[in-house]
Amino acid sequence: MEAAKFESHVPIPEIPADCGGNCMCCTCHVYVDEQWIDKVPKPNNLSIEEEQLEYEKGYKPGVSRLSCQIKLTKELDGLILHLRPDELL
């Protein structure tokens, strides 16, 4: 999340990431694209992440993730994540 927010050549203003990647604010809530659902590892802290997302507007079980909790690896090169339509500027 930090790399995408601060080191990207293209800023992502729709993802404030207020908590700095600590799984506390849901401002990095994204939807994992269908073709990537089985490739993105399940969260280590499933209960914490799901607890945070459970009351979040637009929560979709099995698809919603906090992007700060997705560890990027070579296997995830090309990963497609979607923002909620109401978050787009």
Tell me the per-residue pLDDT of 16-34, one tens digit each, with 9 for 90 and over: 667 777 787 888 899 999 9
**CATH code at position 59:** 3.10.20.30
For the stretch 39-53, pLDDT in tens is: 999 877 667 888 889
Q: Give the pLDDT score at 74.
A: 94
Q: Give the pLDDT score at 13.
A: 64
Q: Give the pLDDT score at 44.
A: 72
Q: Give the pLDDT score at 89.
A: 57
Contact 89, 13 (CB under 8 A): yes
Q: β-strands 64-66, 81-82: how paired?
A: unpaired
Counted domains in the chain: 1
Percent of the chain with pLDDT over 90: 31
Q: Give the pLDDT score at 86.
A: 75
State which residues form the domain around 65. Answer: 2-87
* DSSP secondary structure string for all residues of the chain: -HHHHHS-SS--TT---TTSSSSSS-TTEEEE-GGGTTTSPPPTTHHHHHHHHHTSTT--TTTEEEGGG----GGGTT--EE--GGG--
Q: Give the pLDDT score at 14.
A: 64
Q: What is the pTM of this model?
A: 0.78
